[in-house]
């Protein structure tokens, strides 16, 4: 039961973080936003782990696996996810995020020799159908900033899912070795923060100005909800429950984000949006529960 609560809590945190990111002013680009997000997440998680003593659960191999996970899931994944939200809005970005399950299957086949069952193939089909329905709806997602090429947003979303699936695969050895979930997130966010800060050494990647105070506040809220709470809850759920059930429940983000979009923008998503979200989550369920 605890794993169920943790998984649903993680999904709600991810959905809220996506809404906060979408509210950040457009002049704050994905690179600068990621730098601030990671830079705020690391000290928060580090202090929590220092108080709870979670650092003692880590050894060098765990840190190396988690750092490698950060390269894929945070350095690349968080950057492309923010860009996806800014391009096509939080709703379709959340739907595209569900493709991490098919990518996880492909990675398992490529690196572990795992085969794809008929049930898993059906799940992939449902996810693709859900995304197609969402894309066939309004050309611009509720909450998207300015009209951008849809194909570019979809490409960024698929890259995000591949990066997240790779990051989860690389983090698995550390979590199976009973690493503290918050300590694991501290290593991942700290590695990501160091990377984005080092990029400031390149003149072409330095921002012209600092984000305004309201933007920093929104970035901080997205960091707390998505990086600190959401990822820590997800890792805690993976350490306590069945991986398939946890993955299924945490993938309800596309459904949870619909009422948030409705409340924030005053326009209820259309029937295709709801149907697409349900199909995507059902597909993820078929994939996850068969593993």
pLDDT, tens digit (0-9, with 9 covering 90-100), for 33-87: 889 999 999 999 999 999 989 899 999 999 999 999 999 988 898 889 888 888 8
More confident residue, 192 or 120: 192
Residue 201, pLDDT above cutoff 90:
no
CA atoms of 31 and 39, how far apart (whole Å): 12
* pLDDT band (50, 70, 90) for residue 151: confident
Give the pLDDT confidence score for residue 61 in this predicted structure.
Answer: 94
* pLDDT band (50, 70, 90) for residue 3: confident
The highest-confidence range among 17-26, 47-56, 84-93, 252-261, by mean pLDDT, is 47-56
Label residue 283 exposed, middle or buried (CB < 10 Å: 0-12, 13-18, 19+).
buried
Give the pLDDT confidence score for residue 218 in this predicted structure.
Answer: 92
Give the mean model confidence (pLDDT) for residues 189-196. Answer: 92
Mean pLDDT, the chain, whole residue set: 82
More confident residue, 73 or 138: 73
CA atoms of 237 and 243, how far apart (whole Å): 8
Contact at 8 Å (CB) between 89 and 19? no
| CA neighbor of 198 nearest in space, from 206, 210, 189, 208 | 206
Give the pLDDT confidence score for residue 146 in this predicted structure.
Answer: 52
Contact at 8 Å (CB) between 105 and 237? no
| CA neighbor of 69 nearest in space, from 192, 193, 218 | 192
CA atoms of 55 and 142, how far apart (whole Å): 42
Give the pLDDT confidence score for residue 114 in this predicted structure.
Answer: 62
Indicate the DSSP class of residue 178: T
Give the mean model confidence (pLDDT) for residues 236-251. Answer: 67
CA atoms of 160 and 162, how far apart (whole Å): 5
């Amino acid at each position: 039961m605890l794993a169920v609560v943790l998984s649903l809590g993680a999904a709600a945190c991810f959905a809220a973080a996506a809404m906060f990111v979408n509210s950040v002013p457009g002049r704050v680009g994905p690179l600068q936003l990621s730098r601030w997000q990671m830079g705020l997440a690391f000290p928060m998680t580090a202090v929590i782990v220092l108080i709870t003593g979670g650092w003692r659960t880590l050894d060098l191999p765990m840190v190396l696996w988690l750092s490698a996970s950060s390269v894929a899931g945070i350095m690349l994944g968080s950057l492309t996810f923010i860009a996806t939200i800014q391009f096509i809005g939080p709703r379709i970005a959340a739907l595209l995020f569900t493709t991490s399950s098919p990518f996880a299957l492909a990675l398992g086949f490529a690196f572990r020799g795992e085969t794809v069952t008929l049930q898993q193939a059906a799940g992939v089909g449902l996810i693709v159908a859900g995304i197609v329905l969402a894309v066939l709806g309004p050309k611009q997602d509720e909450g998207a900033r300015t009209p951008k090429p849809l194909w570019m947003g979809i490409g960024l979303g698929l890259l995000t899912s591949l990066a997240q699936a790779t990051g989860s695969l690389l983090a698995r050895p550390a979590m199976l070795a009973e690493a503290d979930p918050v300590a694991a997130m501290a290593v991942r966010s700290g590695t990501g923060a160091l990377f984005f800060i080092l990029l400031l050494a390149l003149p072409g990647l330095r921002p012209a100005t600092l984000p305004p105070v309201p933007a920093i506040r929104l970035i901080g809220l997205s960091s707390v909800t998505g990086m600190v709470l959401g990822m820590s809850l997800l890792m805690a759920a993976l350490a306590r429950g069945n991986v398939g059930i946890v993955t299924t429940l945490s993938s309800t983000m596309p459904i949870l984000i619909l009422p948030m979009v409705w409340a924030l923008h005053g326009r209820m998503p259309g029937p295709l949006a709801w149907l697409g979200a349900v199909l995507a989550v059902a597909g993820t369920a078929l994939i996850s529960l068969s593993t």
